[in-house]
Amino acid sequence: MEPVSSLLVGSFVRHKLERLFDYRHRVTLNDIATHGEIRGGVPMKILVTGSTGLVGRALVAFLAAGGHGVTRLVRSRPRSGAAEVHWDPDAGSIDTSGLEGLDAVVHLAGENIATGRWTAEKKARIRESRVKGTRLLCESLARLGQPPRALVSASAIGYYGDRGDEILREESASGSGFLAQVCREWEAATESAIQKGIRVVHLRIGVVLSPLGGALAKMLLPFRMGLGGIIGSGRQFMSWIALEDLVGSIAYALTTDAIRGPVNAVAPHPVMNREFTKTLGRVLGRPTLFPMPAFAARLAFGEMADELLLSSGRVEPARLSTTGYVFRYPTLEGALRHLLGKR
């Protein structure tokens, strides 16, 4: 007879695997539906940077499943037989021969802003990885005899800075702070591609929700242990987007000629931190009684706390909505229940 501990472990592992397979099945069905809704015609040849990150991995899988030819721009030596092109943004080098014949480019590469304290060196890497890399890529694309028709280049809602409860749309002015300055320079670095006639979309991405990484994945353990709570006052707005809708937004931007310039990649219903906290606790069936005061957040995370955790951005996806993109997960509770396998 098996020990009770073995039975418990086996049941736990089986439950985790069932939830994982169920999640992947739902994602696959949604991907198929999304391809049907936004298919732009013949398959495209698309270059993707940042393909090893959370968003990049999901995007590459989505595009490949839709029959598109995906080439990855990588820092490491390209693998034999793999659709990979080498670049080294720090050295200012890129294999431009691998850029010929592209239909579109999705540029997601950049230093992770949510890991480690924001030392002077870290902030320099955040800025340089975005501005220098984007400028190198765009200048290289602009020199091609036949450049791609479209470039979807990542930016962030940090562009708007800390704005309280002000409703922010694509035409809203940029704010103040480190991230706002980085975003302005990041978007400006695409100018050579714009001048070449490439249709450039600056995708201002919000808080990406996925159980596989990013902010939500970091929250799950403390919340599941009943240790979650509001951050600071809890009144700061969080403009979020489910990973699948972000991937769908990118694909939509690639295939919709009417879209160019800034596009807010956020769900249509931003929420305050206190509502996010309460909703995540409800979905997980856990109390949320342990707040993190603003001073504690600043002690733990330094400058990053003010820009990422305590900053308020009530951002709306005006351009996506008015041009016809349909969000699969427009509400937070619906998104969380899908992502976490909670019916």
Going by pLDDT thresholds of 50, 70 and 90, the confidence category of residue 3 is: low
Average pLDDT of span 71-94: 93
Predicted local distance difference test score (pLDDT) of residue 146: 94
Provide the residue range defining the domain that includes 53.
Answer: 13-209+239-268+316-334
pLDDT of residue 20: 56
Answer for the pair 278, 230: CB distance below 8 angstroms, yes or no.
no
Which of 215, 206, 116 shows the shortest CA–CA distance to 170?
A: 206
Q: What global pTM score does this model have?
A: 0.90
Residue 123's pLDDT is what? Answer: 97
Residue 243 domain flag: yes
Is 136 inside any structural domain?
yes
> Whole-angstrom Cα distance, residue 273 to residue 65?
35
Across residues 150-169, what is the average pLDDT? Answer: 98
Q: What is the pLDDT of residue 36?
A: 53
Per-residue pLDDT at 29: 55
**Residue pLDDT, tens place only, 117-152:** 999 999 999 999 999 999 999 999 999 999 999 999
Residue-level pLDDT at 81: 79
In a domain, 31, yes or no: yes
Reduced to 3 states (helix: H, G, I; strand: E, B; else coil), residue 205 is strand
Q: How many CA atoms lie within 13 A of 10 on its CB side?
A: 6
- Tell me the pLDDT tens digit for each residue of 16-43: 566 555 555 556 655 555 555 545 568 9
56: in domain: yes
Reference 201, options 250, 248, 239; nearest CA is 250
CA distance 45 to 102: 5
263-303: pLDDT as tens digits = 999 999 999 999 999 999 999 999 999 999 999 999 999 99
How much is the average pLDDT of 105-117? 95
What mean pLDDT do residues 234-261 have?
Answer: 97
pLDDT digits (tens, 9 = 90+) for 51-81: 999 999 999 999 999 999 999 999 988 888 7
pLDDT at 82: 87
| pLDDT confidence tier of residue 260, bands split at 50, 70 and 90 | very high
C-alpha to C-alpha distance for 330 and 332, rounded to whole angstroms: 7
What DSSP designation does 307 have?
I
Q: Write the CATH number for 163.
A: 3.40.50.720
Cα atoms found within 13 Å of the Cα of residue 201, Cβ hemisphere only? 30
The predicted structure's pLDDT at residue 221: 96
Across the chain, mean pLDDT equals 92
26 assigned to some structural domain = yes
Q: Domain for residue 127, yes or no?
A: yes
**At residue 5, does pLDDT exceed 70?**
no
47 located within any domain = yes
Inside any domain, residue 291 = no
Nearest C-alpha neighbor of 301 from the set 198, 231, 211, 251: 231
Count how many Cα atoms sit within 13 Å of the Cα of residue 318 in the half-sphere of its side chain.
11
Please report, rounded to a whole number, the percentage of residues in the chain having pLDDT higher than 90: 85
Residue 11 has pLDDT above 70, yes or no: no
The Cα–Cα gap between 220 and 209 comes to: 11
Q: How many domains does the chain have?
A: 1
**CB atoms near residue 202 (< 10 Å):** 24
Per the model's pLDDT, the better-predicted residue between 26 and 314 turns out to be 314
Tally the C-alpha atoms within 13 A of residue 62's C-alpha that lie toward its C-beta. Answer: 30
Which one-letter DSSP state was computed for residue 236?
A: S
Torsion sign (Cα): 54, 242, 337, 27: negative
